[in-house]
Structures are given as C-alpha cells and as structure tokens.
C-alpha cells in the first residue's frame, strides 16, 4: 500500500527543516563559540573556552548581563502584574470592558520599531511631549517633590540618553508594548474559572474581593500565570528593536542598555566576531531553555482539575 | 391558573418556622422568573423544591442562600429578616451541583475553609505565617473537620485533592464542607445530578440517613420527581415561577391540586382522558358512565387515572389494543390504544397476568371510579368539596 | 401576609456604583497612557515642521501651507514651494524611500512565510495526530524540544549558513528560517486529534489518498485554529525587525516595512519628523485596521497559543 510510506512524505519536510534550521545552528553555535571565527576567513582557530571566559569576566559583558537582567526583571513583573490587573478590572465590567481590551491590545499589534521611534520623540528632552508636560507643572505644588524641583530648575531628564534613566525608560516602553498580550491571556483564564466556585466562596464567608482573589481567582489562574510569566521572560530576553533604533552604536549611554541580543548583533554582525557572538548565543539559549523547562514542570504540577 | 399565594400552615406542633420566604419576585431582564412565591419551612424538615428545568427552583434556592437578591419580597430565618444579610452570615450551607470544591486545596483544607474564613483574621490566614500564629485554633479546626470526615467515611481521603476523587467522594466532601459550619439549614442544588444512576439511588438513601441523624433542615432542589418523592418530608412543586402545591409526597401523589402537578409527579405519567360531567354527578368517560365524587355541574372535565388504577379484567367495561409493552421485571406496563382517546393509556399489570399478552392483542380492563382524579377543563382539581362553578 | 416591598439593598447598589466608577477611572488613565504614542504619531504626521518643533497646532495642526526649504534649495521659486503639511508628509514618506516597494515586500514575505508554514506543518501535524508509524513518539518529542528554540536566538549561525550559500540579500533569506513553525505543528496537531477517526476511515473507504485527506477533510475542521495561527504568524513577521536587519545588508529593494522606517530615521535630520511619523503610520495601520475588523479572531489566536 502506498499509504504505508505516505507519512514519510508528510513528516519529511518538517523534519528536514527542523534539523537544518533549528538543530544544526545550535550545534554550529556551540562549535563556533570555541573558535575565533570571522565571516570571510578561510578557517578558524580553536580557542577553547576563551570566549566564555571573556563573557563572564570582562566588564563590557558584565554590563550586558546587568542591562539584560535589569530589563527582564523590570519588564516581566510589570507586564504580568499590569496584565493581570487590567484583566481583573476589565473582567468585572462585562461588555463595556471590550473597548478597553481593544485599546490595551493595540501596542501589541503595532510594529515595535515604529512605536519605539514615536516614544523616542515623546521622550525628546526639548520637543517631546513628556518633558513639555512636566514643564507645565513647574511653579505649582508639584515642586514640593525634590526631583521635580530639580527638573524645573535645570532640565528634566534626558530620558533616553541619561545613564541613570536610559534602561528604565526602555523598560517602560517594553512594558507598554507587552502588557496587553498578557492581559488577553489572563482574560481567557478568568473566563474559564467556574462561577460556582465564587458562589461556594461566598457561602464560605470569603466576602471581600481580596479573599475571593486569594481563595479562587489566583489559584485557578495558576497554569495561565506560569505560561504568561514564561512567555514574558522569553520575549523580554529577546529585546532588540528599541535598543538598535535608539543606540545604533554601543548599546546606550555607557552601555547601560547593552542587552544580550544587541550584543550578539554587534559582535557577530557588526564587528564580525563570530566566535564571541556564538558564545553569547549559547549562553542566551541556555537561559531560554532552562526557563521553558521550568515552566513545563511547573504547569504539570499546578494544573488543577476542577 | 391556580392562585399563587399558597402558603402551607403547620399541621399540629408549634415549632417556629425555620425559613420563610414571603412574596418573592424575581425577573431576569424582562423575563419573570419568580411570581410572588411564598414558602414556610419547618425546623428540621426535608423540603424539596421540584419542577422541570426553568421553573425557578434554583433561583429560589439561591435567593434563600443570599447569592441572588429578590426584586421584591423577604427572606426570614428563625423570624429574622435576612434579606440584606450576606450569605455567609445567614449561617446556611450550600451543596452545589458541580460540588464547587477548591481544586488546589486538599480535602481537609476544603472542609476547613468555612471555619478559617469565619474565625481567623486575614493575617492568620496567610499561607506560612498563619498556622504559626494560631496553632491551637488551627488544630481545633482540623479536629472538627476530621470528626465530620469520619461520619461521612472519607477520613482516608483527607490529604487528597478533589481532582483525585470520584464523583461520589467529591459529593461527600462537599457535604462535609457544608456540615462543618453547623448551619441552620442545608441548601442543595441538584447535588445528585452528576452521578450515575446506581450511585444516585445509593446516595439518596445516604442523604436521607444523614438528615435523620443531623435533624437539621434540608432544602433540596431537583428536577427528578422520584428523588422528591423518596426523600422529602414535604415537597413543593414549582412550574413557571409559581409554587403549585406544597405537601407530603403521599398527599401530592394521591391528591394533586392541578393537572400539571398530576402530570409531573409519578412515573409512568398519569393517564388523562377527556370526559363529560353532567348535573347529576355522573361522568361520561371513554364511553362509560361512572358515578363521581365531584359536585354536579355540567362541564367538560379531564379525568386522571394512574397506571396502577387501571387493571386487567376479563369482564372489564373498556377494551384496548396493546401497542407497546414495557417489562420492568416486577411490573409490566401495557400501552393500550383505546377508542376515543388520543394518546395510549398506560396500564400496570402484574407479571403473571400480562406475561402472555402480546403486541396487537385486544385486552379488557376496568377501573374503580373512586380512583379517578378529576380536573376541570382549565386544569384545576375538582373535589367533592369544590364549590359548584358555572361553566360558560 | 406582609405587604412590605423590599428593594435591592441600597448599600450594595451604592457600593456597586462607586466600584464601577473607580474601575473606569483607573482604566481610563491607563488608556490615555497606552494611546499617547498613537496620538502623537498621527498628530505629528499631520503637522508642519515648525509646528512639530514648537509643539503648536493642537491635534490636527493648523494645516497652513508652509515653505518647503528643501525645494527652495533646489532652485524653485518660493510660491511653488508652499506645501500643505499632510500632503507633504505623506508624499515625502513615499518618495524619500520606496515605501510602496517596502510594503509590497512586507506582503510578499509574510504571505510566503505563512503559506509555506502551512504546507510544512499541516501534513506533519496530521501524521503525528492520526497516523501510526515507527518513530512517531520520537518525532513528537523532537517537536516539543524545538519549541524551546526561539529562532531569533540562533540568528547568528543561520546568517553564517545563508552567507555561505550566497543567499543574503534575497527573499529566500527573509523567508527560509521561518518556514518551519513548530508552534504551528503543535497547534494543528491538537486540533487534528479532535477529529473523529471515523471521518478519516470513511474518506479512505471512498478512495481518498492520504494527501487528499489532509486538505479535504482535516483542513476544513481546523479553520479556526488555522486562522488564529495565520494571524499570529502574519503579525509577527510583518513587525519583525531583527531578522531582516541581519540578513538584508545592502539591497534596499528588499527592505521590509520596519527596515524602511529605520532607514528613514537613520537618514533623518531634525526636519523630517513629519514624514517619519507618516511612514510609521503607514506601516502600523494595516495590521491595526485588520485587528479592529477581526478582533475576536486575533484575540482567539493569542489565547489559543496559550491554551496548551
């Protein structure tokens, strides 16, 4: 029967592509990370773990880790928290909430590079709307706040070009772009919570909103939360668009925004140092895979059958 | 349509009404769901709200519990108006159709939740800190839960999660969670509907046994009239948002107030045939004239006869052709096509009588006129005591 | 019988209203922050340069014709160089760089990617869901493993491979790495598993080939999932900046919309904010419009990707 072999044709292309596009590159990256290869060279010299040593000792790479982790550990909690908060608020409104849902989801749909450029304009020290709005508050009671007064006296911060503020501003834009996605996931999770559980909670005496949240909502959002957190982690690790658009060279004021993906791009593509680029890639992949595996394990444990 | 303001009074005794509903009205949007419903439930009795889907029984129960608010009317518990009081403070417990157990908590924790909510403050309820702050009370609660688990025979399940339990076990945990609060009454919303048939019959007996033991009021909602008949002290038959009749199961079975009640209660359904009553108190039905016990007014009537009221009789005045046979082992139900009636009549026969009767055969049968349950054309019951009414 | 008429508890109704009001207040503040850049983007794309610099003109800008200095420099008379802001911004957007071409590239790339993804993923999903063969478990395990690998993460080795093959600066380079969508395989497999086996057996009895079964029996049942997957794919690849940036190094003709915008910014001196914002509008609008028209599907798609 011809159909005995049919499956080979079906899985063939997928298998081949998986191997070529996903698996082999990992092997190549691992191999390259042990060399000093540059594109265009004939061969490459084996340098052992030298690249990794550099990554874990040199200050540039220390800044890379700091920038990346700062970004990730600001963006993930905020996008998850805001996503959950927005979902809870919108869910309580019923049909009217749909309008807010649409609005909050728009940033997810819009190309980040485009919106980042707009934000850059908004954060512009002189012609940007943020600072000009802040300036309008000068001379009012807001000056009681020391930071505000300082801004009025001199200038308000150069949000994207100030070493102190750059990474947080970029994080803010990341949160702006990402929380709508998590909100949608949480909304789906909320609608799947059986209403009778809330009735039971009411009968048991969980009268206040906080009690109901702790007894029913949060536990039953367990799997959703695990998924949301993992997705947020992976997405935020991959931040690149904004950094390259704002700081085409160098990764921000004194490398305060020198995130891993940008480092890979800079070292590997711009500077053609494939060896170290590959090493960063391997470390990056390690992070991502470990995170996803943790998620899988957690979901298995936390999925409760109602 | 029968009057909506039916309220049963206590027969003898002098115990205080445990739960009273007065003139409850409820609409969902424009659709009326409850039309001025009143009901009094005596302390310690097992009352069933029974009716087809959509009759409003679950809504009434939820209003009793406080999960819904009535548009109008009052709910009183032990004489106190609790219409404004939150569910938890009414000291009622509810068992849901889907059990509504907290899936992330163990059986023991599920059962302790009402106690924790009631007796511990927010701080004491925090996950790790809580138990440390109030060890003694925690122990006491666990003890209470254990005692109840014992009576329900689920002690061995205390550390399992609901997802690991069978339907019957979950049901018992739901009961346990309700019992642990020592409520004034148990409200049950079709708790047996999700169980398979055999388990359902078994649980009916267990619930009745539990009721006898606890001596607490049970308010039970079901669409299954068999459950209502077997378990209740009193039952309230509801349809379209009205309570049509309240009374003991025997009473409702033998003495229904309306045609709808008669049709709903009893399986197989009561046979209803049209008849003609004349002024002398005789009724013409199926071509036979029988004396009746109703007042003598000339009118068209509906005559109800339950399957067990019809019997095979060699010299019977009526005859029919067997169109269908149901052999239930202990009983045989024959569906007879009888001249002058639209629907087949169902007759209950004993196995030794009917085992030889096959399809298509003609049989003779008869009935005792005193078994007739007679209704006016509009469905109201005609009794000897029913005053004479002129029919246009 | 008491005649007391009881209303809905005043306390609860009152509580309800303040709570709803507060909820709306918070959500509205959030909405303002969320919409700020969109407002800015649209507004600036409608304004003249001096209005942008001085932040005047309200939302629409006063729409006074202004003097295009560049055109004067080219030697034209001043009267010929008075242009209406909106027209100026949007025409410059299309003229300064071949924006239409970029948009076309975007369409070509996203559609190609999706179509190839479907042709690769669907048969594989069918085989994993409905056919029994030696190694099925292993293949599925491989799929699960590959789900862990974000393609952006392995951009570097992929780039090297493509460079070695001389494929940089081609449509192929833009499309190839995305042709395998393990997520798509996973999603479709979940759906296919819900199709009753009887349906497939009946088709086999009717003489349908296995290949035919995929497209005539399985595909119709999975349309919702497929649409969701399509939306997910198209959005992701229309907005993708990282991969095209790496792989298109010289040939402007192959720029995708995000690259086009970036290039605009790179060239831009201070005066070109208007056209730059206009470009941003043009790039962002197609997906937003589609989203607004088919919201339910979009959100279904995102949700489906989560429900595993």
Provide the CATH number for the domain around residue C289: 1.10.3720.10
- Give the span between the Cα atoms of C24 and C26, in whole angstroms: 5
Q: Is the pLDDT of residue C17 over 70?
A: yes
Chain C positions in Cβ-Cβ contact with residue B70 (cut-off 8 Å): 6
| Range A35-60 average pLDDT | 83
Q: Which of A21, A117, A227 is closest, CB to CB, to C306?
A: A227
Q: Do C9 and B84 count as a contact with CB atoms less than 8 A apart?
A: yes
Nearest-CA distance from B32 to chain A in Å? 23
Farthest CA pair distance, chain A: 86
CA distance A127 to chain C (A): 6
**Is B7 within 8 Å of chain C by CB?**
yes
Nearest chain B CA: its distance from C7 CA (Å)? 6
Which chain C residue is nearest to residue A228, measuring alpha carbons?
C306
Measured CA to CA, the distance from residue C94 to residue C90 in angstroms comes to 6
> Would you say A21 and C177 are in contact if contact means Cβ atoms under 8 Å apart?
yes
Please answer whether residues B262 and B327 qualify as being in contact, where contact means their C-beta atoms are separated by less than 8 angstroms: no
pLDDT at B4 over 60: no
Q: What is the pTM of this model?
A: 0.83
> Which chain B positions have a beta carbon within 8 Å of A206's beta carbon?
88, 117
Q: Which of the residues B93, B104, B123 would you substitute to probe the A interface, choosing the one with the greatest number of A C-beta atoms within 10 Å?
A: B104
Q: Domain spans of chain B?
A: 16-254, 272-376
For residue C16, name the pLDDT band (cuts at 50, 70, 90). low
> Do the domain assignments include residue C51?
no
d(CA B321, CA B337): 5
Between CA B167 and CA B176 the distance in angstroms is 14
Q: Would you say residue B368 has pLDDT above 70? A: yes
Q: For residue A281, what pLDDT band results from cuts at 50, 70 and 90? A: very high
C8: pLDDT strictly greater than 60: no
Residue B212: strand pairing partners: none
Say if residue C174's pLDDT is above 90.
yes
Q: Tell if the CB–CB gap between C12 and B69 is shorter than 8 Å.
A: yes
Q: What is the mean pLDDT of residues B164-190?
A: 91
Answer whether A6 sits within 8 Å of C210, measured CB to CB: yes
Q: DSSP secondary-structure letter at C114?
A: H
Helices C99-130 and C273-293 pack at an angle, to 10 degrees, of 30
**Structural domains of chain C, count:** 2
Out of C27, C30, C246, closest to residue A269 by CB = C246
pLDDT on residue B63: 93
pLDDT for residue C147 is more than 50: yes
Rounded to a whole number, what is the distance in Å from the CA of B123 to chain C's nearest CA? 25
> Which chains have 3 or more CB–CB distances shorter than 8 Å to chain B?
A, C
Rounded Cα distance between B269 and A99, Å, is 53
Instruction: For residue B2, name the pLDDT band (cuts at 50, 70, 90).
Output: very low
User: Does residue C79 belong to any structural domain of this protein?
Assistant: no
Residues of B in contact with A210 (CB under 8 A): 122
Residues of C with Cβ-Cβ distance to A264 under 8 angstroms: 155-156
More confident residue, A64 or A44: A64
Same domain, C155 and C246: yes
- Contact with chain B for residue C10, Cβ under 8 A: no
How confident is residue B11, by pLDDT bands cut at 50, 70 and 90? Answer: very low
Are both C121 and C248 inside the same structural domain? Answer: yes
Q: Are A80 and A186 in contact (CB under 8 A)?
A: no
Confidence band (pLDDT; 50, 70, 90) for A282?
Answer: very high
Q: pLDDT at residue C68 above 50?
A: yes
In a domain, C88, yes or no: no
Q: Do B69 and C8 touch (CB under 8 A)?
A: yes
Q: Are the C-beta atoms of residues B362 and B307 closer than 8 Å to each other?
A: no
How much of chain B, in percent, has pLDDT values that exceed 90?
Answer: 44
Closest-CA residue to B92 (of C12, C9, A204) = A204
Do residues A281 and C153 lie in contact, with contact meaning Cβ atoms separated by under 8 Å? yes
Element (H, E) at B285: strand B282-285
Mean pLDDT of B71-98: 90
Q: Nearest Cβ partner of A203 from B94, B125, B162?
A: B94
Mean pLDDT of B131-138: 78
Q: Which two tokens stand for residue C300?
A: 């279904």
Residue B20 vs residues A5, B39, B262, B354: alpha-carbon distances, Å: 74, 6, 26, 49
Half-sphere exposure of A101 (CA within 13 A, CB side): 25
Asked whether residue A20 carries a pLDDT value surpassing 60, the answer given is yes
With CA atoms as reference, the chain B residue closest to A204 would be: B114
Spatial distance between the Cα atoms of A304 and B163, rounded to a whole number of angstroms? 7
How far is residue B128's CA from residue A281's CA, in Å, rounded to a whole number?
40
Averaged confidence pLDDT in chain A: 86
* Contact assessment for residue B63 and residue B21, using Cβ atoms and an 8 Å cutoff: yes
Given a cut of 90, whether residue A174 has pLDDT beyond it is yes
Q: Return the axis-axis angle of helices C295-306 and A166-191, rounded to nearest 10°.
A: 90
Tell me whether A45 touches chain C (CB under 8 Å).
no
DSSP conformation class of C91:
H
Of the given ranges (A105-109, B145-149, B388-392, C162-166), which has the lowest mean pLDDT? B388-392
Residue A209: the pLDDT is 84
Strand boundaries in B6-154, DSSP class E:
17-28, 31-42, 46-50, 72-77, 80-81, 92-95
- Average pLDDT of span C220-225: 81
Can you say whether residue A129 is alpha, beta or left, with left for phi > 0 and alpha for psi between -120 and 50 degrees?
A: alpha
CB neighbour class for C101 (10 Å; exposed up to 12, middle 13-18, buried from 19): middle
Which of these, C56, C113, C106, C111, lies nearest to C285 by C-alpha position? Answer: C106
8 Å CB contact between A240 and A230: no
Q: How far is A202 from chain C (nearest CA, A)?
A: 15
Half-sphere exposure of A216 (CA within 13 A, CB side): 26
Closest CA to C247 of A268, A293, B256: A268
List all residues 6 or more positions away from C51 whose beta carbon is below 8 Å from its beta carbon: C57, C61, C62, C85
**What are the distances in angstroms from CA B375 to CA B174, B276, B290, C17?**
43, 11, 15, 51
Question: How far apart are alpha carbons B76 and B188 in whole angstroms?
Answer: 18
Residue C36 covered by a domain: yes
What distance in Å separates the CA atoms of residue B247 and residue B234, rounded to the nearest whole number? 5
pLDDT value of residue B381: 86
Q: Is the torsion defined by CA of B20, B23, B27, B33 positive or negative?
A: positive
- Is residue C123 located within the same domain as residue C232? yes
Residues 71-100 of A with CB under 8 A from C: 86, 89-90, 92-93, 100
- Average pLDDT of chain C, as a whole number: 82
Q: Which domain holds residue C27?
A: 1-46
Q: Does residue C76 fall inside a structural domain? A: no
Q: Which of A11, A86, A228 sits opposite C127 (nearest CB)?
A: A11
Nearest to B74 among C2, C9, C12 (CB): C2
Question: Taking CB atoms and an 8 Å cut-off, how many pairs form between chains A and B?
Answer: 71
Distance from CA of A131 to the nearest CA of C (A): 12
pLDDT for residue B386 is more than 70: no
C-alpha Rg value of chain A to the nearest Å: 24
Residue C287 is nearest to which of A109, A176, A188, comparing CB atoms? A109
Flag whether pLDDT at B5 surpasses 50. Answer: no
Q: Which residue has the higher pLDDT, B50 or A224?
A: B50
Within 8 A of A122 by CB-CB distance, chain C residues are 36-37, 40
Higher pLDDT, C298 or B25: B25
Average pLDDT over residues B332-355: 88
Structural fold of domain B16-254: Rossmann fold (3.40.50)
In Å, how far is A186's CA from the nearest CA of chain B? 18
C226-251: pLDDT as tens digits: 887 888 888 889 999 999 999 998 88
What domains appear along chain A, each with residue ranges and CATH number? 22-113+164-303 (1.10.3720.10), 124-158 (no CATH)
Does any CB of chain A come closer than 8 Å to the CB of residue C55?
A: yes
Nearest to C272 by CA among A121, B391, A123, A133: A121
What does the buried/exposed string (b/e) look like for A6-28 if buried means 16 or more CB atoms within 10 Å of the residue's CB? bbeebbebbbebbebbbeebbeb
Confidence of residue C302 (pLDDT cuts 50, 70, 90): low
Q: pLDDT at position B264, please?
A: 93
What ipTM does the predicted assembly reach?
Answer: 0.85
Whole-number Å distance between alpha carbons of C271 and A231:
39
Residue identified by tokens 């296919």 is C192
Task: Check residue A133 and give its pLDDT.
Answer: 82
Q: Which of A64, A261, A34 is nearest to A269 (CA)?
A: A261
Residue B29 is encoded by which pair of tokens? 């949007």
Q: Is A130 left (phi over 0), alpha (psi -120 to 50) or beta?
A: alpha
Going by pLDDT thresholds of 50, 70 and 90, the confidence category of residue C220 is confident
Q: Which of A220-234, B245-259, C55-69, C89-103 has the highest mean predicted lDDT (pLDDT)?
A: B245-259
Confidence category of residue B62, pLDDT binned at 50, 70, 90: very high
Contact B74 C1 (CB under 8 A): no
* Contact list, B161 vs chain A (CB under 8 Å): 304
Neighbours of chain A (3+ CB pairs under 8 A): B, C
Q: How far is CA B204 from the centre of its chain?
A: 12
The pLDDT value recorded for residue A173 is: 94
Tokens describing residue B22: 């007065």
Most confident of the following: A176-180, A231-235, B351-355: A176-180
Contact B84 C4 (CB under 8 A): no
Architecture of domain B272-376 in CATH? Beta Barrel (2.40)
- pLDDT above 90 (res C150): no
Please tell me whether residues C127 and C274 are part of one structural domain.
yes
C-alpha distances in Å from residue B175, one per residue of B93, B123, B148, B203: 9, 28, 9, 12
A306/B113 touch (CB, cutoff 8 Å), yes or no: no
Number of Cα atoms under 13 Å in the Cβ half of residue B207: 32
- Is C85 among the domain residues? no
**Cβ <8 Å between B83 and C9:** yes
Question: pLDDT band at C190, cuts 50/70/90?
Answer: confident
Which single residue is written with the structure tokens 């711009």?
A270
pLDDT surpassing 50 at residue B14: no
Give residue C267's pLDDT: 65
pLDDT above 80 (res B3) = no
């Amino acid at each position: 029967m011809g159909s005995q072999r049919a499956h080979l044709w079906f899985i063939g292309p997928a298998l081949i592509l998986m191997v070529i596009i996903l698996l082999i590159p990992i092997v190549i990256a691992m191999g390259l990370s042990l060399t000093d290869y540059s594109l265009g060279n004939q061969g490459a010299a084996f340098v052992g773990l030298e690249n990794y040593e550099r990554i874990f000792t040199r200050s540039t790479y220390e800044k890379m880790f700091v920038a990346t982790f700062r970004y990730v550990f600001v963006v993930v909690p905020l996008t998850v928290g805001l996503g959950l908060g927005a979902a809870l608020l919108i869910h309580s409104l019923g049909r009217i909430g749909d309008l807010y849902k649409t609005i909050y989801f728009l940033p997810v749909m819009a190309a980040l590079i485009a919106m980042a450029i707009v934000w850059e304009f908004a954060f512009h020290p002189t012609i940007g709307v943020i600072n000009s709005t802040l300036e309008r508050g000068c001379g009012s009671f807001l000056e009681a706040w020391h930071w505000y007064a300082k801004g009025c006296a001199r200038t308000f911060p150069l949000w994207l070009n100030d070493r102190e503020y750059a990474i947080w501003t970029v994080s803010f834009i990341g949160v702006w772009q990402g929380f709508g996605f998590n909100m949608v996931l949480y909304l789906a999770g909320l609608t799947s919570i059986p209403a009778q559980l809330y009735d039971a909670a009411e009968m048991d005496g969980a009268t206040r909103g906080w009690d109901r949240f702790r007894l029913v909502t949060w536990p039953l959002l367990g799997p959703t939360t695990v998924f949301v957190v993992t997705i947020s982690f992976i997405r935020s690790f991959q931040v690149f668009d904004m950094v390259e658009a704002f700081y085409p060279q160098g990764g921000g004021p004194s490398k305060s925004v020198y995130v891993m993906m940008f480092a890979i791009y800079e070292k590997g593509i711009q500077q053609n140092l494939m060896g170290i680029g590959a090493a960063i890639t391997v470390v990056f992949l390690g992070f991502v895979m470990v995170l996803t595996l943790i998620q899988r394990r957690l979901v298995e444990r936390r999925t409760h059958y109602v | 349509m029968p009057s909506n303001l039916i309220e049963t009074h206590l027969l003898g005794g002098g115990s205080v009404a445990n739960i009273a509903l007065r003139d409850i009205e409820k609409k969902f949007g424009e659709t009326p769901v409850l039309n001025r419903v009143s009901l009094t439930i005596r302390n310690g009795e097992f009352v069933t709200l029974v009716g087809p889907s959509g009759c409003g029984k679950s809504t009434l129960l939820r209003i009793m519990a406080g999960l819904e608010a009535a548009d109008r009317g009052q709910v009183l518990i032990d004489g106190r108006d609790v219409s404004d009081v939150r569910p938890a403070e009414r000291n009622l417990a509810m068992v849901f159709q889907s059990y509504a157990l907290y899936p992330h908590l163990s059986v023991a924790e599920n059962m302790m939740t009402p106690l924790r909510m009631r007796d511990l403050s927010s701080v004491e309820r925090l996950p790790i800190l809580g138990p440390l702050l109030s060890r003694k009370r925690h122990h006491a609660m666990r003890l209470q839960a254990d005692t109840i688990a014992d009576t329900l025979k689920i002690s061995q399940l205390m550390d399992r999660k609901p997802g690991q339990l069978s339907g019957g076990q979950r049901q018992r945990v739901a009961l346990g969670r309700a019992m642990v609060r020592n409520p004034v009454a148990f409200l049950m919303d079709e708790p047996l509907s999700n169980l398979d048939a055999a388990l359902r019959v078994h649980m009916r007996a267990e619930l009745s046994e539990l009721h006898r033991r606890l001596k607490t009021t049970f308010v039970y909602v079901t669409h299954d009239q068999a459950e209502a008949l077997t378990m209740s002290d009193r039952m309230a038959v509801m349809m379209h948002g009205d309570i049509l009749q309240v009374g003991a199961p025997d009473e409702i079975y033998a003495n229904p107030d309306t045609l709808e009640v008669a049709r709903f209660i009893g399986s197989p359904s009561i046979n209803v045939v049209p008849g003609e009553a004349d002024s002398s108190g005789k009724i013409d039905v199926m071509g036979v004239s029988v004396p009746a016990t109703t007042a003598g007014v000339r009118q068209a009537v509906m005559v109800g006869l339950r399957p067990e009221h019809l019997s095979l009789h060699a010299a019977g005045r009526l005859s029919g052709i067997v169109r269908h046979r149901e052999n239930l082992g202990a009983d045989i139900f024959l569906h007879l096509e009888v001249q002058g009636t639209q629907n087949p009549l169902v007759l209950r026969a004993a196995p030794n009588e009917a085992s030889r009767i096959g399809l298509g055969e003609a049989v003779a049968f008869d009935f005792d006129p005193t078994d007739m349950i007679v209704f006016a054309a509009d469905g109201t019951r005609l009794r000897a005591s029913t005053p004479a009414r002129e029919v246009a | 019988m008491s005649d007391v008429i009881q209303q809905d508890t005043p306390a609860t109704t009152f509580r309800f209203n303040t709570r709803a009001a507060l909820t709306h207040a918070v959500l509205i503040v959030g909405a303002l922050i969320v919409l700020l850049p969109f407002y800015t983007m649209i507004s600036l794309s409608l304004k003249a340069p001096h209005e942008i610099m001085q932040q005047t003109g309200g939302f629409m800008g006063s729409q006074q014709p202004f003097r295009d200095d560049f055109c004067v420099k080219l030697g034209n008379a001043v009267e010929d160089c008075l242009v209406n802001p909106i027209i100026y911004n949007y025409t410059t957007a299309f003229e300064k760089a071949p924006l239409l071409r970029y948009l076309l590239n975007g369409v070509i790339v996203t559609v190609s990617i999706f179509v190839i993804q479907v042709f690769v993923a669907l048969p594989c999903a069918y085989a994993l869901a409905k056919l029994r063969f030696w190694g099925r478990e292993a293949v599925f395990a491989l799929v699960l493993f590959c789900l862990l690998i974000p393609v952006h993460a392995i951009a570097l080795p992929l780039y090297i491979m493509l460079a070695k093959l001389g494929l940089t600066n081609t449509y192929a380079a833009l499309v190839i790495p995305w042709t395998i969508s393990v997520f798509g395989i996973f999603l479709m497999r979940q759906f296919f598993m819900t199709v009753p086996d009887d349906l497939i057996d009946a088709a086999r009895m009717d003489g349908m080939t296995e290949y035919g079964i995929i497209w005539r029996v399985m595909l119709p049942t999975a349309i919702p999932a497929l649409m969701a997957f399509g939306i997910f794919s198209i959005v992701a690849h229309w907005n993708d900046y990282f991969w095209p940036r790496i792989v298109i190094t010289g040939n402007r003709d192959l720029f995708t919309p995000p690259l086009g915008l970036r290039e605009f910014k790179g060239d831009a001196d201070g005066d070109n904010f208007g056209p730059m914002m206009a470009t941003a509008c043009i790039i962002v609008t197609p997906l937003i419009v589609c989203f607004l028209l088919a919201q339910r599907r979009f959100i279904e798609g995102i949700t489906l990707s989560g429900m595993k």
